A and B are shown apart, each in its own frame.
Chain A
Amino acid sequence: MSQPDPRPTDWRAVIAAHPLESHEPAAWLRYGVALSQLIEPSAQERQQQQQVGLAFAHAEALGASKEAVALSQRQATLLSLVEALALAGAEGAAAALEGLADGL
């Protein structure tokens, strides 16, 4: 399985470019990460989380290992934390954590 590309920033573009007929597990993992970065607090937030879960599920069905799925979920968590840190004005910590997330 190929490694995901470096962290994209335009998650909507990643989602738009994702072919739903793809049989590439890595593409579905990246798609799941992208979906996770666009969840917004709302009455539909759990449904949005469900979509993320479904994307990871599909990646696993196509052959992604559980470890690879977990790694993508870890990356999704870290990427959101990087954003939160930056919004809190903790740029130094955000940069340090971003290095960690990118190192996956």
Chain B
Amino acid sequence: MLESMAKPYCPRPALSRSAIDTAGGGSGEPGVWVPLWRLRELALPYPAYHQLIASLRVGGDGGDDPLLAELTDASAAALREALEQGHLERALAAHEDLLGHVIELAAARPAVAAVLWQRYGELLGQLAGQVHGRLVPRNGKPVDFSLPERAGDAELCLRMAGILEPTAAQPWAVPDWLPVLEQQLVQHGALAWQQRLRTDADAAGPCLDLFLRLAQLLDPVPAWVDLAWRASLERLIEALPPAGALAEPELELLVARVGRLPVVAEQRGAFEAALLRARFSLELLQQGRVGNGRRATEGSEGLEVLEAEWLEEDEERPGPAPAAALPAVAWRPGTLVVELDPLELQLLQRAEGPAEPLEEALAELRRRHHDSDFWGAAAVEGPEPPDSLELLRRFEREAGFYATTHAPLESLRQWARPALQALLQAQVWSGDGATLKLWQPWGQASQRRQPPGGTALLERLGGGEVVLVGEGPEAVAALQEAHRAGRLFAGAAFGLRCLAVPQSCHPQRPAAGFEHSLEALVAAVEALHRERPFTVLLVGGGAYRLPLVQAIGSRYGVLAVALASPLAAWLGAEAVAEPGR
């Protein structure tokens, strides 16, 4: 099997645990224990085998389980076999399964995520190569898409474009030749849809999508591409039904498409603002909500007050309003909950970019390690986003990140990889619109939650065991005292243990680099779990928080919460502080 994607990291399980649970578990039906190797020996066709293992996994605890590794292996093997046999449809179906499994498995096993993505990338490269070889003429001659044998080109290119575009956001190094294949496939598909547009108005949407993608891939954008996306956009809009009959999904798609238009730099700000307004109006329409959770029966007096405050544009309002239309945080075991932090998000954006500026900034920080003026300077605030040097300076000074001297960029990556994985799978919140905007490029809207209060969590902790990591000594002492006095118990009592993060804010360097301190911290938390299992991990701010919740949440299935706000204050200052103090 796949010369296995997951096998090197996953000892073959002797038994399928889910098979035991599913077959026997409480239903009264007789059950059997079947080793996985015996299931493999059945030599079932891939879809049936995949369906079998997936059905056995239902009801499992998710995350890092052997059946997930088995599914990954099976999908990879099926993809490889389909490619060898030249069955593109089967290959595409297997790829779809594989991608989902790799995302899940990489999140469950951060230590092997890089290798998993690399192997996935190899298979994706083969798939793209095969589709390219089949569709794009080697001689570069124009293609007559009206020929019967070209009937499927448009859809296939659209499908491949949909697969290849998101790969840029995945944490693996794309081979140099893959963007070239992508560009040629996108161009081929765009031309195929353009030809179809003459007789089929429904072709305008895919045609626009591919030309817009082509415009992203080509620099500079050729005039014919520019003209083509404009023409297909006009065709698309002309074919829309009257506004009153415009279905919401259609409107949503239009907003998304407009959001992809190329815009000159000087208009970018105004364009983004207009797009934000369109999205907000669409949200109101979709949610059918009026008043953002407040009922219409509220009198106009209250409205007047709010109005007057808002129209005073320079007047600061106390804190952003809760996004009442968002779902509340689900405090479930095995989930990650993350309060977004703008510094981390800005750094992750840089970490996805070219390595050179980061390497230069890290080298500069090392050179200026003893420059107290540099480190003592106030944070640079201004309309322009801070540069990498400033971001990293703040990350070292305020969040406790520090790089090794021999491989500083690798230290940053050791933070960025698990941090990104945590953000991709967590329920997230922020009370700050600018922070949410930083998160938008890779976040899914479905991840967003209403900003929760600490009480909402405290009420659910009764009978549980909580480990709290990362607060300063004074805050920890106050929390422990409040806990002993019962002031933290919003519901029933719970156990509380506290652990400090390594003191590594500049100029302190407790080990060779951040990754070593992180490793020690993870080991310390694991030791706490071995000593007495806990159900909730609460981690305060700093560079350690995201890698820590990612590691512990995935390994132990606990509810792992990473806060950017001071933990004691979030849990309720009045509960933590002694009454009357």
Interface size class of A (residues with CB under 8 A): 35 or more
The secondary structure that dominates the A interface is helix
Instruction: Say whether B251 contacts A77, CB under 8 Å.
Output: yes
Q: How far is the CA of A99 from the CA of B459 in the complex (A)?
A: 54
Instruction: Say whether A100 contacts B285, CB under 8 Å.
Output: no
Is B275's beta carbon under 8 Å from chain A? yes
Residues of A within 8 A of B281 (CB): 36, 52, 73-74, 76-77, 80
Residues of B within 8 A of A15 (CB): 311
Is B169's beta carbon under 8 Å from chain A? no
Q: How far is the CA of A15 from the CA of B303 in the complex (A)?
A: 14
Residues of B within 8 A of A92 (CB): 230, 234
Q: How far is the CA of A37 from the CA of B281 in the complex (A)?
A: 9
Name the contact of B320 in the complex, choosing from A39, A43, A55 (C-beta under 8 A): A43
Q: How far is the CA of A71 from the CA of B243 in the complex (A)?
A: 8
Instruction: Say whether A52 contacts B280, CB under 8 Å.
Output: yes
Residues of B within 8 A of A104 (CB): 243-244
Q: How far is the CA of A66 from the CA of B246 in the complex (A)?
A: 16
Instruction: Say whether A96 contacts B320, CB under 8 Å.
Output: no
The secondary structure that dominates the B interface is helix
Instruction: Say whether B234 contacts A96, CB under 8 Å.
Output: yes
Is B306's beta carbon under 8 Å from chain A? yes
Instruction: Say whether B240 contacts A47, CB under 8 Å.
Output: no
Known contacts A81-B254, A88-B267, A90-B233: A56-B291 contact under CB 8 Å: yes
Please count how many residues in chain B sit with their CB below 8 Å of the partner chain's CB atoms.
60
Residues of A within 8 A of B285 (CB): 70, 73-74, 77
Known contacts A36-B281, A45-B433, A93-B234: A61-B297 contact under CB 8 Å: yes
Q: How far is the CA of A90 from the CA of B251 in the complex (A)?
A: 18
Instruction: Say whether A46 contacts B271, CB under 8 Å.
Output: no
Instruction: Say whether B433 contacts A87, CB under 8 Å.
Output: no
Is A14's beta carbon under 8 Å from chain B? no
Instruction: Say whether A46 contacts B233, CB under 8 Å.
Output: no
Instruction: Say whether B433 contacts A51, CB under 8 Å.
Output: no
A19 to chain B minimum Cβ distance, whole angstroms, is 10
Query: Nearest chain-B residue to A97 (Cβ)?
Result: B237
Q: How far is the CA of A33 from the CA of B271 in the complex (A)?
A: 18
Query: Nearest chain-B residue to A86 (Cβ)?
Result: B274
Instruction: Say whether A41 contacts B276, CB under 8 Å.
Output: yes
Among listed B101-109, B156-164, B258-266, interface-contacting one: B258-266
Residues of A within 8 A of B238 (CB): 96
Query: Nearest chain-A residue to B276 (Cβ)?
Result: A41
Instruction: Say whether A45 contacts B233, CB under 8 Å.
Output: no
Q: Which of A52, A57, A66 has the most CB of B within 10 A?
A: A57
Instruction: Say whether A56 contacts B290, CB under 8 Å.
Output: yes
A63 to chain B minimum Cβ distance, whole angstroms, is 11
Q: How far is the CA of A21 from the CA of B307 in the complex (A)?
A: 13
Residues of B within 8 A of A53 (CB): 284, 289-292, 294
Instruction: Say whether A41 contacts B278, CB under 8 Å.
Output: no
Is A42's beta carbon under 8 Å from chain B? yes
Name the contact of A48 in the complex, choosing from B233, B300, B310, B432 (C-beta under 8 A): B310
Residues of B within 8 A of A83 (CB): 274, 277
A12 to chain B minimum Cβ distance, whole angstroms, is 9
Q: How far is the CA of A85 from the CA of B236 in the complex (A)?
A: 13
Query: Nearest chain-A residue to B325 (Cβ)?
Result: A53
Instruction: Say whether A21 contacts B300, CB under 8 Å.
Output: yes
Is B321's beta carbon under 8 Å from chain A? yes
Is A24's beta carbon under 8 Å from chain B? no
Instruction: Say whether B323 contacts A46, CB under 8 Å.
Output: yes
Instruction: Say whether B310 contacts A51, CB under 8 Å.
Output: yes
B466 to chain A minimum Cβ distance, whole angstroms, is 31
Name the contact of A42 in the complex, choosing from B304, B307, B433 (C-beta under 8 A): B433
Known contacts A53-B292, A87-B270, A88-B267: A20-B230 contact under CB 8 Å: no
- In the A-B complex, the 7 residue pairs with the smallest Cβ-Cβ separation, listed nearest first, are A57-B291, A57-B290, A61-B296, A80-B278, A76-B281, A73-B285, A80-B277
Beyond A47-B310, A66-B288: 11 further Cβ-contacts under 8 Å? A21-B300, A36-B281, A41-B276, A44-B310, A53-B289, A54-B298, A57-B296, A71-B243, A74-B243, A78-B251, A90-B233
* 10 CB < 8 A contacts A-B: A36-B284, A49-B283, A80-B274, A81-B254, A81-B258, A84-B258, A84-B274, A88-B262, A97-B237, A104-B243
List B residues at the A interface (Cβ < 8 Å): 230, 233-234, 236-238, 240, 242-244, 246, 251, 254-255, 258, 261-264, 267, 270-278, 280-285, 288-292, 294-298, 300, 303-304, 306-307, 310-311, 317, 320-321, 323, 432-434, 437
